[in-house]
């Protein structure tokens, strides 16, 4: 389904967002997207879409939920990854 096609059904999503809160709706969508991405080892990519995806790289942490660098998403910008690597070498 294209984005334009999905917009035709936006009233249902709008009502759901109004009912439960748009932040909760987005959190739930990210949760279900993450479950799907686990099958392709791309977990964390649910927070990075469009052009921004080109500017990120996997964090490399073993437990993202406890990582101070990626804060659980598993992805870092290239600049942050470079800084993480520098500090790890010290």
Q: Report domain extents, the chain.
A: 1-40, 43-90
Whole-model pTM above 0.95? no
Q: What is the pLDDT of residues 21-63, one digit of tens each?
A: 988 888 888 888 888 877 876 666 666 666 666 788 888 888 8
Going by C-beta distance under 8 Å and a sequence separation of 6 or more, which residues neighbour residue 55? Answer: 77, 78
The percentage of residues in the chain with a pLDDT greater than 90, rounded to a whole number, is: 14
Q: How far is CA 78 from the centre of its chain?
A: 16
d(CA 90, CA 84) in angstroms, rounded, equals 10
d(CA 25, CA 47) in angstroms, rounded, equals 14
Going by C-beta distance under 8 Å and a sequence separation of 6 or more, which residues neighbour residue 16? Answer: 25
Structure token digits, residue 36? 């799907």
pLDDT band at 8 (very low <50, low <70, confident <90, very high): confident
Q: Mean pLDDT check: name the lowest of 12-26, 54-68, 73-87.
A: 54-68
pLDDT at residue 85 greater than cutoff 90: yes
């Amino acid at each position: 389904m294209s984005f334009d096609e999905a917009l035709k059904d936006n009233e249902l999503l709008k009502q759901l967002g109004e009912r439960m809160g748009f932040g909760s709706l987005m959190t739930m969508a990210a949760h279900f997207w993450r479950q799907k991405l686990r099958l392709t080892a791309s977990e964390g990519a649910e927070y990075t879409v469009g052009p921004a995806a080109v500017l990120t790289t996997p964090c490399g942490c073993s437990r993202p939920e406890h990582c101070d660098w990626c804060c659980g998403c598993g992805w870092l910008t290239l600049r942050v990854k470079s800084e993480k690597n520098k500090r790890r070498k010290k």
